[in-house]
Amino acid sequence: MNLITNIFMITATLSSILAIVSFWLPQMNPDAEKLSPYECGFDPLGSARLPFSLRFFLVAILFLLFDLEIALLLPLPWGNQLHNPTETLFWVTMVLMLLTLGLAYEWTQGGLEWAE
């Protein structure tokens, strides 16, 4: 047997043993105290969760989206070394137009308005 087969067999055997042991070892006996939101102290009078504004989530998603698209422009300085720099300029212009149209769409839909 070769080395890769031995390593695969050892890994599969060890993983199987650890998976089987992990089902046998834990003895979970949750009681009412452990299932409460606070394990010690007082019982909450109202909801323990605070309301979360979806505007924060929307701004974070928009930031990630536009940041990822802008990251596509990072290799631009090396684009003039290609065989056809005009094609590179065309594609860069298309990406910038896509970014601008996406920003305009979000602006007109009110996605960037913070006041409710």
Domain assignment of residue 115, yes or no: no
Domain assignment of residue 116, yes or no: no
Domain assignment of residue 114, yes or no: no
pLDDT at residue 6 greater than cutoff 70 = yes
Domain assignment of residue 78, yes or no: yes
Residues near 92 by Cβ (< 8 Å), separated by ≥ 6?
73, 76, 79
pLDDT at residue 40 greater than cutoff 70 = no
CATH number of the domain at 26, please: 1.20.58.1610
The pTM score is 0.48
Domain assignment of residue 86, yes or no: yes
Domain assignment of residue 32, yes or no: yes
What pLDDT score does 70 carry? 83
What pLDDT score does 41 carry? 62
Q: Which one has a higher pLDDT value, 112 or 97?
A: 97
Domain assignment of residue 23, yes or no: yes
Domain assignment of residue 88, yes or no: yes
12 is in which domain, residue-wise?
3-109
- Percent residues over pLDDT 90 in the chain: 19
What does the alpha-carbon distance between residue 85 and residue 77 come to, in Å, rounded to a whole number? 11
C-alpha 10: how far from chain center:
33
Number of domains forming the structure of the chain: 1
